[in-house]
Amino acid sequence: MSSYSRISGTGSALPPRKISNDELAADLAERGVETSDEWIVARTGIRFRHFAEEGTTSVDLGEQAARRALESAGLQAHDIGLIIVATSTPDMIFPSNAALIQGRLGAAGGAAFDVQAVCAGFVYALTVADQFVRSGMTRHALVIGAEVFSQILDFNDRTTCVLFGDGAGAVVLSASETPGVLASALHADGRQSSILCTPGRVSSGQVAGSPFLKMDGQAVFKQAVHVLEDVAREALAKADRLPADVDWMVPHQANIRIMTHTAKKLGIPLDKIVVTVDQHGNTSAASIPLALDVAVRSGQIQRGDTLLFEAVGGGLTWGASVVDY
């Protein structure tokens, strides 16, 4: 009887359009918005990001990542009994991105739903899928993070529009007799919803509120550096592991300063952080599975490595998972 879930495949997708800080700064200058490569790199570590072309959606990117993850796992779509998509930029109000991707893959019949925990969404979705597999409700689950944040950015706000990019990442979780996902910890504090939000909704055919991302960067940074260390230690303790046991930390790729601060607090060497924020920017729920796939395919992460995933996002939401890959 299989009683664990293990990552059996990974995949990712990026829109072809890659934009440097200099290119973005030139575009913003035409709007009267000042920024520079030096300003962005110094504060975030971001050098490039990918933006989807008009008409490319999070379902498009999620489907591509899912197909690559299935191929990596050596599975067919009909093997999948559960699809969970973590996204804040879905194609429709309903149905879910998970249902739309299920239809495209030809995986009808299993469960499919979305999880909305913003940048912490992948850790939330992975934790839910792990429970489905452990309980025997499914043998194979597809967990996808897919975002097109470029569509909700206010390009007159330099404090946010330089940070985010588009992309998708996916993993297949499969039933296993050996442990894979060792432990997770999830938290939220809805009292802090206003520091990172997109406070709009559709009402009577109109947008009520704002359709653009709003962020109090200093408040988010202050919270992030506090909660990420705590939740990482909580997940490690549940897994009966120490920070010294971590081969690779695969954090949410929001800001290099937050990532290195957390590693230092945990005592994890900085060369043990998987870093893609310089190439992708902040892809929200896609960032961890995207970084994971890049590291797996480059040979950086090997089978048997112990991984630490951790993320914080709007809500405020935060979480961590410890995984034997």
Check if 282 is active-site.
yes
In DSSP terms, which residues pair with 83 in a beta bridge?
Answer: 112, 142
Q: Give the tokens for residue 153.
A: 């950015």
Check if 280 is active-site.
no
Place of tokens 């495949």: 9
Q: Which among 140, 252, 255, 280 is annotated as catalytic?
A: 252
Write the CB contacts of 136 (distance below 8 Å, at least 6 apart in sequence). Answer: 1, 2, 175
Cα–Cα distance measured from residue 109 to residue 91, given in angstroms and rounded to the nearest whole number: 21
**Beta strands of the chain (E only): which ranges?**
4-13, 18-20, 48-50, 82-86, 111-115, 140-148, 166-176, 181-188, 196-197, 200-203, 206-209, 214-215, 248-251, 306-313, 317-324
Q: Which among 50, 119, 140, 280 is annotated as catalytic?
A: 119
Q: Which among 21, 97, 255, 282 is annotated as catalytic?
A: 282
Check if 21 is active-site.
no
Q: Which of 206, 226, 232, 57 has its CA nearest to residue 146? A: 57
Q: Which residues are known catalytic residues?
A: 119, 252, 282
